[in-house]
Amino acid sequence: MTGSIRVGSVRGVAVRAHWSVPLVMLLFAYGLADRTLPAYAPGLAPIAYATAGVVGALLLLLSLVVHETAHALMARRAGVPVRDITLWALGGVTQMDLPTRARTAFVVAASGPLASLLLGGISIGAAVGLHAMLDWRLPIAVLGWLGGTNVLLGVFNLLPAAPLDGGRVLQAALWWRTGDRERAQRAAGRSGQIIGMALAVVGWLAFVRGVTGGLWLMLVALFVVSAAAAERRWAELSLALRGLRVADAMTSPVDTGPDWLTVDRFLADVAARTRHSVLPLLDFEGRPSGVVHLRRLTMGPSGEQRARPVRDLATPVSRCTIAAPDEPLTAVLARLGTGDGLPVLVMEDGRLKGIITAHDIQRLYRRHRGTAARGGAAGRQGIAT
């Protein structure tokens, strides 16, 4: 996720925080110190409420890390590569490869909410025990709030709505039942859109009745609807492109340009003779060194930049998505989030064989979506009988 920085690691998994995390934690700390804690433990000094509010917000942040770490560790235990954990305003995201079995997907998805429910139970139990032994109202209030928030987080995440964990659980169950991951993903995405719209309505009704938390629920609901729609689009794309190889999608041969030319010379000698908007660059040895977007060259560079080598304004090959001609196309598209996305450079033995652009994907999708729909109808009929 752009705008995030690494803040540490847990069991070898990098933990990153989006810039929105400090802002949201500050809002939680303020809400605790200004309303929640004074209502339960009145009569204390403002500094006590402020300190307890910050502690509560940090404990909640730690709870989110535990939630995402549960996903990561369960995935690694099942042999699924995990890249990192990113915390942001609406929770967290664990970046990992797609599980290859429905059972693995189910266990990985369910582990996060179960960890939150466990933390919630422990916090509430600690608050009850502390209340029975000592009359420390402020720590009791913080633990009670933390426990209730974790329980709410766990229950909310179990809603059968992609991209929430409950949506992943639903997808895994449908995948196990039908044997078709893409159709299961499409169903989970449809469920996410319906539940997200319902949550948005509930949030709006709560907000107009004076409950400010309804605005936050609306924001979360809109995110769920948007992400669920993206899940459905991806599922439809995967279904249409299933069985195709990278070689079936790539454009070859592909126009290229030398990376040592200055921007001025590149525009005059290379860009002027091509119809493409994106060009791979080759070094002196004929190996790909990066990808340059011609629009960036024509609109962005200043006079000084135009005298620099074009490779200085290109996306280096280390940040590009690389694929082999025989790889499954859907597996490569699933990796796009680890680099800068399209285009995909198709390489074999260190040499450029072709390129896959958004236009290539759209062309294949239009060609194969009718076939996929007919196959899907036949498949559903076979299951029903």
Catalytic residues: 68
CB 49 within 8 A of CB 70: no
Amino acid type, 380: R
CA angle 27, 92, 78 (to 5 degrees): 155
Tokens of 92: 């967290």
How far from the centroid of its chain's Cα atoms is residue 252's Cα? 32
Specify whether the backbone of 243 is left (phi greater than 0), alpha (psi in -120 to 50) or beta: left
303-306 contacts at long range (C-beta below 8 A, 24 or more positions apart): 305/263, 306/262, 306/263, 306/264
DSSP 282-320: E-TTS-EEEEEEHHHHHHS--TTGGGSBGGGGSEEGGGS
Q: Which amino acid is at 239?
A: L
Question: Count of CB atoms within 10 A of residue 350's CB?
Answer: 9
Which two structure tokens, joined as six digits, stand for 330?
A: 């859907």
Beta bridge partners of 258: 282
Which amino acid is located at 23 in the chain? Answer: L
d(CA 45, CA 123): 25
DSSP string, 219-246: HHHHHHHHHHHHHHHHHHHHHHHTT-BH
Q: Which residues pair with 356 in a beta bridge?
A: 344
What tokens appear for 23 in the block? Answer: 């802002």
Q: Could you tell me which residues come within 8 angstroms of residue 229 by beta carbon, excluding any fewer than 6 positions away?
A: 189, 193
Amino acid making up residue 152: L
Tokens of 8: 């540490």
Radius of gyration of the chain (CA): 25
Please report how the helices 102-133 and 165-178 are oriented relative to each other, as an axis angle in degrees rounded to 10.
Answer: 140
